[in-house]
């Protein structure tokens, strides 16, 4: 696997390469996100736009994205951000989404992305890397377990969105 520097392009034929996304990748990232939503049956939850993604990845960065390429083709992405662990007293990487186009799975592309994320976590002195996975997604679960991930069965993820989030905040929200 070849890891490309920020801003680099080009992928070796037959060997995955991973690079940081650039502003010109926004349309492709939104396309990947749409494919991912369709795969998970969550299209009705999509609110992403190219403008919003560009704003929060490049203009007012709140996250980062990696793109994996294979045989000269963009094949998938990972979107992640840093959090902080109070118990460890160190930063962590939270992987919001990782997606490989279904027709290109089984070629080591997910592992390439996952390895780069792990390397970034180590380089950034993070204490851990975390993510969530839908309970029905058996292929992803097998992939994560194969690479040493442990499910946190004693934790339940909660989410507050939309009108409930705005109500708790005590007013109207933006966007």
Active site residue 94: no
Residue with tokens 């736009």: 49
* Residue of 39, 56, 70, 144 with catalytic role: 144
Nearest to 130 by CA among 138, 121, 139: 121
125: Cα within 13 Å, side-chain hemisphere: 3
Nearest to 19 by CA among 54, 53, 51, 65: 65
Nearest to 130 by CA among 88, 75, 67: 88
Active site amino acids: 144
């Amino acid at each position: 696997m070849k890891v490309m520097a920020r801003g680099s392009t080009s992928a070796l034929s037959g060997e995955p390469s991973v690079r940081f996304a650039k502003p010109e990748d926004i349309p492709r990232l939104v396309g990947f996100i749409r494919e991912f939503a369709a795969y998970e049956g969550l299209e009705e939850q999509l609110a992403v736009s190219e403008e919003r993604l560009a704003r929060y990845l490049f203009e007012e960065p709140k996250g980062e994205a990696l793109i994996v390429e294979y045989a000269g083709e963009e094949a998938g992405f990972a979107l992640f951000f840093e959090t902080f662990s109070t118990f460890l007293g160190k930063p962590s990487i939270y992987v919001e989404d990782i997606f490989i186009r279904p027709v290109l799975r089984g070629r080591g592309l997910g592992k390439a992305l996952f390895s780069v994320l792990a390397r970034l976590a180590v380089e950034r002195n993070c204490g851990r890397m975390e993510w969530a996975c839908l309970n029905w997604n058996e292929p992803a679960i097998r992939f994560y377990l194969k690479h040493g991930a442990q499910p946190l069965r004693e934790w339940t993820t909660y989410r507050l969105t939309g009108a409930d989030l705005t109500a708790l905040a005590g007013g109207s929200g933006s966007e």
